[in-house]
Amino acid sequence: MTPSPLYVGVTAAGGQTGRYVVRELARRGLRTRGLVHSAGSDEAALKAGASDTARIDLDDPASLTPALRDLTTLMFIAPPFDASEESHAAHALKAASAQHISHFVYYSVLHAHLPGVPHHLRKRNVEAQVREAPLSWTTIQPTMYQQTLLALVDSASDGVVGIPWNPAAHFNLVDLADVAEAVGRVITAPALHAYASYELGGPERLTTEEMLNRIAEATARELRLEELPSSRPPLPPSVSRRTAAEMVAMFAKYDAGYPANPNVLRYLLDREPTSLASTARRELGTEPSTGRPKSI
């Protein structure tokens, strides 16, 4: 097999999304460089399959120049709820252009234009920057991960799952492993996916109560839903006041639902996207591992 000429840099490679992407790219035999901020992230990126790592500081554009050297592709994933995402993306786009990187893949969010949700609106503004950049680009727009709900289930005390949004609202949660596979297909065929924006939704439109029933049946757990006020979401104590406020705004929007469509993901995967029950069995340890990283 002829080695791929692609050499892919992945920012936030030690985070949840970054690890899934790095592992998928490594599975495809691609050279990857984890672009990280700390020693712990270095280790996580290498463990996920990165060929090498480089330290970057997105507040310091000069740190990007050596880190991006020799790369053909840059996958830009911002840290969660990054207040400076617009300037960080601008630095990355400028550095990518200066290093003659041929393909910039931006990791956005489903419905970035959603009013009243600050981190969505920042991503909307970054999408506008990407569209004006002098290089080939693709934008990935995933909905909420199935893993996000599964993390709440896995940490639930006595099977009581606290949900800070209307449990009757509909969602199409997506498997992060499916999203990573779609990213892998985009990166390995850049000409085919140039100048495309892809909304990625899961295959089932379900209420939260229906989702918990699917998870309970798949994992033989007894689960009970507890509706929490959106102003009192289950957050780790380390979350900053600003991030907490942005998450509260997001959950308030979720009261009306966050439906998506699976057709684009179905096209990219060339198969049916993974059901919530299947992901629950895989992530919560009730079926053999597929080699995909556990996130919870």
Q: How far apart are CA 233 and CA 247, in angstroms?
A: 8
Q: Could you tell me how many helices (H) and strands (E) the chain has, helices first?
A: 12, 11
pLDDT at 157: 81
Q: What is the mean pLDDT of residues 31-45?
A: 95
Range 7-144+174-201+260-273 classified under CATH 3.40.50.720: yes
pLDDT at 262 over 90: yes
Q: What is the mean pLDDT of residues 131-154?
A: 96
Instruction: Please state the domain extents for the chain.
Output: 7-144+174-201+260-273
Tokens in use for 152? 């709440």
What is the phi/psi pair of residue 31, to 5°? -75, 130
pLDDT in tens, 206-230: 999 999 999 999 999 999 999 998 7
What pTM did the predictor assign?
A: 0.94
Per-residue pLDDT band for 291 (boundaries 50, 70, 90) equals very low
Q: How many CB atoms lie within 10 A of CB 95?
A: 21
Q: What is the mean pLDDT of residues 158-181?
A: 96
pLDDT at 289: 41
pLDDT at 25 over 50: yes
Across the chain, mean pLDDT equals 93
Q: How far apart are CA 121 and CA 140, in angstroms?
A: 15
